[in-house]
Chain A
């Protein structure tokens, strides 16, 4: 199985900050990498797929990048509604696997 390791596990930030979350795969996933946002009590929401493609309707302050084993989700200017937990997921091979999550909290 491909292991997905996110860092950091949590971070504190202020509105307007730039935030970067990293996801490292235990082997190359060929950009078959998605990012999700989850708020308490809600289903996850797709933000980015194919490593860098923004899902329709997602604000442009979100962006994804990376290749091979290393991927990044960036939020250019954190908004109040962005405080949530973020997960990466690889769909390159079965079983598909998720990172452990990064919780973004208000500083």
Chain B
């Protein structure tokens, strides 16, 4: 069955960077976009961006432009996201999720989430 497995929890200081990984299995890695969504404590879902594993093309939410970089490694079916210049308000659970390349599909498989705590 399709699965996304994310890297473990991180604690970072303000100004530092964090890199997440999201390893796909059970499906054709290059046939689905991978999106990143975060959720601050007690808050809703916030879309951060996406990557097309087939060609590496990315699209980022404006509020993260310049701070986020998404990459993929097709040899290991892994997508990575790096977030730099961390702020206290970046404390959140970060999820990766896949979406079919068909129009109007949903995010049908999610990773388990990675908790990032930004603390001095």
Chain A residues with CB under 8 Å of chain B are 1, 30-34, 36, 38, 43-46, 48-51, 55, 87, 89, 91, 94-101
Contact = CB atoms under 8 A, between A and B. Distances in A.
B61 A95 contact: yes
Contact of A87 (B44, B49, B97, B110): B44
B106 A55 contact: yes
The number of chain B residues touching the other chain, given as a range, is 20 to 34
B23 to A, nearest CB: 15
Contacts of A51: 104
A100 B44 contact: yes
B112 A49 contact: no
10 contacts: A34-B105, A34-B106, A45-B110, A46-B107, A50-B105, A50-B106, A91-B106, A94-B50, A98-B46, A98-B47
Contacts, number: 70
B113 interface: yes
Contact of A96 (B44, B47, B62, B108): B47
B108 A55 contact: yes
A98 B45 contact: yes
A95 B113 contact: no
Contacts of B97: 43-44
